[in-house]
Chain A
Amino acid sequence: ETGVTQSPTHLIKTRGQQVTLRCSSQSGHNTVSWYQQALGQGPQFIFQYYREEENGRGNFPPRFSGLQFPNYSSELNVNALELDDSALYLCASSAMEYNSPLHFGNGTRLTVT
Chain B
Amino acid sequence: AQRVTQPEKLLSVFKGAPVELKCNYSYSGSPELFWYVQYSRQRLQLLLRHISRESIKGFTADLNKGETSFHLKKPFAQEEDSAMYYCALSTNFGNEKLTFGTGTRLTIIP
Contacts and interface: CB of A to CB of B under 8 A. Distances in A.
Interface of A: 3-4, 31, 33, 35, 40-45, 48, 55-56, 58, 90, 94, 96-107
B94 A100 contact: yes
Nearest to B49: A101
Contact of B102 (A42, A99, A104): A42
A42, A43, A100, most chain B CB atoms within 10 A: A42
A43 to B, nearest CB: 5
Interface stretch (B11-19, B38-46, B74-82): B38-46
B86 A43 contact: yes
B94 A56 contact: no
B8 to A, nearest CB: 13
5 contacts: A3-B43, A42-B100, A45-B97, A45-B99, A102-B98
B96 A94 contact: yes
Interface string B95-108: 11111111100000
Nearest to A48: B97
B95 A42 contact: no
A31 B95 contact: yes
Given A42-B102, A43-B44, A104-B45, A98 B93 contact: yes
Interface of B: 4, 43-46, 49, 51-52, 86, 88, 92-103
Contacts of A104: 43-45
A43 B97 CA distance: 11
A90 B67 CA distance: 31
Contacts of A33: 96-97
A48 to B, nearest CB: 6
Nearest to B100: A42
A43 B43 contact: no
Contact of A106 (B43, B93, B99): B43
Contact of B98 (A31, A45, A55, A96): A45
B46 A102 contact: yes
A58 B52 CA distance: 26
Contact of B96 (A102, A105, A107): A102
